[in-house]
Amino acid sequence: MKDVSRKEEGKKPRIGSVIFYIIMIASSITCLYPLVWLILNSFKTNSELFNDPWGITLNPVFENYKTAWVAGKIGISFFNSAFVAVTSLFITIIVASMAAFAITRLKWKLSGTVLGLFLLGVMIPIHSTLIPLFSLFTRINLTNSYLALILPYVAFALPTSIFILSGFMRTIPNEIEEAVIIDGGNMSKIFWKIIFPLSKSAIATISIFNFVSMWNELMFALIFMSDPNKLTLPVSLTRFKGQYSTNWTVQLAAIVIMVIPSITAYLFLSDRIIESMTIGAIKG
């Protein structure tokens, strides 16, 4: 009887593992299939797309990407989006890490209050600020300027970023700082040489989430930017669709160009994100 019960206990985890892997594989296929379909069909002609939308073309049409990049001016918008997203992300990382350091590692009475004030920003619906910001930026002649996008992007990224970094920095032992101070180091050295490098995992986490949201943001860019040479990629795609409404494969190529940076950023930073989650789970 004991042997039978042991066999049954051994089977249960295996059955659970099989079910788990089946669910994970099905979820992966559900997520990856649209992306694979998008990439494969971006290399087809329109006739190939309609005749065999699920097949693989033997003669890839790279002209679709050239048309989207040059004739559709997707290339200009790509670099506009890259500049705005990277600049906004850089400012967010520096400001959020400094604020989190001050809140968690420096001893002052209002640190908890300041963190609470930052977190109030999470409660503000982002798009509810469109009209007030547009009125303000119009008054100070900031529309059609990259700053009109960078400032809101940074402002709305800071609350969550500071919250994540604060939670991570609290797990760093105080003994490390004390050793640096004994060696004659100051707060600047502690931050740049110790705390900031040790927070790379948390920084990677906020980087990927903020970059994707900044890269894909449409409403602010649509309202604040009207200069064709300063449009970001999401806005250009909305206009591109009207310009090439019958050329579906060129539109697919433009969408592929749009999603490549987000996927690339995740592939480079995914290990750091998992590391950050693991550390938080262990120390939590």
pLDDT in tens, 79-116: 999 999 999 999 999 999 999 999 998 878 888 888 88
Q: Say if 138 falls within a structural domain.
A: yes
Cα–Cα nearest to 164, from 197, 118, 216, 109: 118
- H-helix segments, 110-199: 111-120, 130-139, 147-169, 174-182, 187-189, 196-198
Q: What CA–CA distances, in Å, run from 41 to 11, 47, 52, 233, 243?
A: 44, 11, 9, 21, 19
Mean pLDDT throughout 136-150? Answer: 95
Q: Tell whether 107 and 7 lie within a shared domain.
A: no
pLDDT-derived band of residue 158, with 50, 70 and 90 as boundaries? very high
Q: Tell whether 37 and 68 lie within a shared domain.
A: no
Q: Say if 56 falls within a structural domain.
A: no
For 26, the domain range is: 2-41
Q: Tell whether 8 and 85 lie within a shared domain.
A: no
Judged against a pLDDT cut of 50, whether residue 145 lies above it is answered with: yes
Total domains in the fold of the chain: 2
Q: Say if 169 falls within a structural domain.
A: yes
Q: Tell whether 29 and 111 lie within a shared domain.
A: no
Task: Characterize 103-134 residue by residue with b for buried, 16 or more Cβ atoms within 10 angstroms of its Cβ, and e for exposed.
Answer: bbbeeeeeeeeebeebeebeeeeeeeebeebb
| DSSP helix/strand/coil, 56 | coil
Helix and strand numbers, DSSP H then E, in the chain: 14, 0
Predicted confidence at residue 5, as pLDDT, reads: 52
Mean pLDDT throughout 59-70? Answer: 91
Judged against a pLDDT cut of 70, whether residue 212 lies above it is answered with: yes
C-alpha span between 62 and 219 (Å, rounded): 31
Q: Tell whether 167 and 84 lie within a shared domain.
A: yes
The answer to whether 169 touches 197, Cβ cutoff 8 Å, is no
C-alpha span between 60 and 98 (Å, rounded): 49
